[in-house]
A and B are shown apart, each in its own frame.
Chain A
Amino acid sequence: MKTYTNLQLYSLVLLRILIGWHLLYEGIVKLLSSGWSSVGFLGESQWIFSGLAQWIVSHDGVLQTVDFLNTWGLIAIGCGLILGLFSRIAAISGAALLLMYYFNNPPFIGMEYSVPTEGSYLIISKTLIEALALWIVALFPTSKQFGLDFFIKRLKK
């Protein structure tokens, strides 16, 4: 970490916080709109996860659990990234979650969805890029300096 220049360090912190902000809001919105469910999204699932998605949708209890975990997962990951608390775990699980979204609705040639996306994609989507960005955040940790992980580090000493 010592080898980062200040500009590199601040840029990485900013990247971490911005992604955290985005995921936190995604989670909060789902929490605040009481009618929200992943049914529409999962119902559209194609490729390797479509079987799993169908299974989730057809089981009310499972669906509710998935919705709950998704909403609170997003909120926890978002807070973790902004505050720099358990930042690496947050970044890795965030990347995994985003990859799940990506592979459920991949913008591959020949796969079409009735739910509109907010962009035009060919194989690579913003979701995939955000997942990769989180992976970078995990590889280049900043939270032990800029984040509550500082105190965890100190406690461990």
Chain B
Amino acid sequence: MASDNGPKKSDRDKDRVENSISKQRRSLIKALAGIPIVGLFGLSLFEKRAYDKRNNNRIFKELGLESLQDPNLGEIESARKGELLRIGIIGWGVRGGQLSKALGFLHPDEENSMRENGRLEDWLMQDDLNVAITGVCDVFDLHAEKGLAIAGSELRPGGGKSLKLPVKRYRRYQEMLADKDIDAVVVTTPDHHHARISIDAIKAGKHVYCEKSVSLSESELNELYATVKSSDRVYQLGHQYVKNSIFKYAKEIINKDILGDITLVETTTNRNSENGAWIRHLDKDGNPRPGSEKSIDWEQWLGNAPKAPFSVDRFYNWTKWFDYDTGLIGQLFSHEFDAVNQLLRIGIPASVVSSGGIYHWKDNREMADMLQCVFEYPDKDMTLLYSGNLASSLPRGRVFLGNDASMELGASLVVHADGNSKKYAENIKNGLVDPSIPMITFDPNGSSVDGVSSATESYYASRGLIGTNINGRNVDTSHLHLAEWIDCIRHGGEPSANIERAYEEGIAALMAHRSYVEKRRVEWDPIQRKIV
């Protein structure tokens, strides 16, 4: 039987098996259809990356800016180790607390609130500077108590240990300066004390970190300069701003002459709030903040300033009066000046013209709330412009205008080629450079520098919208600035905002202020070294 139907059946079977094998094979091929697609994806990705990289490199090569791509350029230098430094802080307002934090000392209340909002981790990553705040000086009991609590706090960043050294309150700064157990002082008082305390501190052998303004009078500024120059103590002015890694990129761009001849630098202040206009004597509910003649040593607060009756307004809002400050110039232009001076080394201007007025905040202030200052540098073929406005917060940025390109330096750095630049004419023609989009952008929170960036990136950059910092840490620039000062104390060297820079800035600010007050063009006599 089998032999009868044998060949026929086996043929059928064979067909069926072959059929099913080819069907199976087809099913298998279908099931694996996605794999070549993934391969294609990988290939396209590789090609795109190579294309982007080629394009990106091309512009940096063309501009000779390969150094900008060095990933170490923006690196934060950590403080070198050294012996314990015992610091006294004079003045425990808001800034005193901020600088303590930058030194590694937190008020217990702030520690709790930072723990709650998740900001404590960043702070704990800060380097341990091996310092102790052992001296607290303030004319206001409440502020001094706050200072004692901060100085006595035990939590330290960077794995540091609390040394539990005794903290002493000094009623007068002179007592602190006379104490040999204090190595260095941080001056965060209202501005009218800065120069006097700094001079006395250097003379007493202390190193000084002082907030801006440097000085409110030319004679005191000269005395400070002479005192620091004839001493081996380290003086640093509080311009932490330039410790932003963005400045290294800006410096490189200046050094490589990407901008061409810089004939104008525009700097601005754009604020529109009571706090921004130095109205700070009321709490959230509109009640006067604490302080009375009982808890404040008013006479010491006035110092060498003319006698004036005590008021909470004056105590908290001192920036409004000429006796204690130079307003927009001292508080805000000073940072702008330092930023420009650190980049371009402009020094003292040949002349300054200021104008403005009290146009919005019509209270009892003397200080302008709208101010324009024009600083001329004929020997550098350059004008520095400052425009401060306390009644509009429209961001106007800080711009360096060159005949080949302009650089905006703010939260990020953006360089646009000039449409009429001769230097870039060739590259504009061949399409490598497009004047309508940034030629170079750098975002310190992102990780890379971009040449020829996309429209979205330029949009983000120009609005300072990029708040991305994931793997990198948020580092307090004040911490870096203090670390530099401490490093110079321990190992020698000149800090970036040394007495030379401070003097240049102090003179420029005093010239601008005098021009506003005297309503005239003010000049610098480089031979007599005085303002005329």
Which A residues form the contact surface with B (CB < 8 A)?
13, 17, 20-21, 24-25, 28, 32-37, 39-40, 43, 58-61, 63-64, 67, 79, 82-85, 114-116, 145-151
Contact = CB atoms under 8 A, between A and B. Distances in A.
A151 B31 contact: yes
Interface of B: 27-28, 30-35, 37-38, 41, 45, 49, 117-118, 121-122, 443, 445-448, 455-456, 459-460, 463, 465-472
A37 B463 contact: no
A90 to B, nearest CB: 11
A149 B34 CA distance: 11
A148 B118 CA distance: 43
Given A25-B45, A83-B38, A37 B468 contact: yes
B468 A145 contact: no
Nearest to A43: B467
B118 A84 contact: no
A46 B411 CA distance: 25
A79 B38 contact: yes
A148 B31 contact: yes
B463 A114 contact: yes
A32 B448 CA distance: 12
Contacts of A151: 31
B45 A145 contact: no
Contacts of A24: 41
Given A58-B117, A59-B118, A147-B31, A116 B459 contact: yes
| A interface: dominant SS | helix
Contact of B467 (A34, A40, A60, A116): A40
Nearest to B121: A60
B35 A83 contact: yes
Contacts of A63: 470
A101 to B, nearest CB: 16
23 contacts: A32-B49, A33-B446, A35-B447, A35-B448, A35-B470, A36-B470, A37-B470, A40-B468, A58-B117, A60-B122, A63-B470, A64-B470, A67-B470, A79-B38, A83-B34, A85-B34, A114-B465, A115-B460, A115-B465, A145-B27, A146-B30, A147-B33, A150-B31
A84 B31 contact: yes
Contacts of A20: 34
B27 A21 contact: no
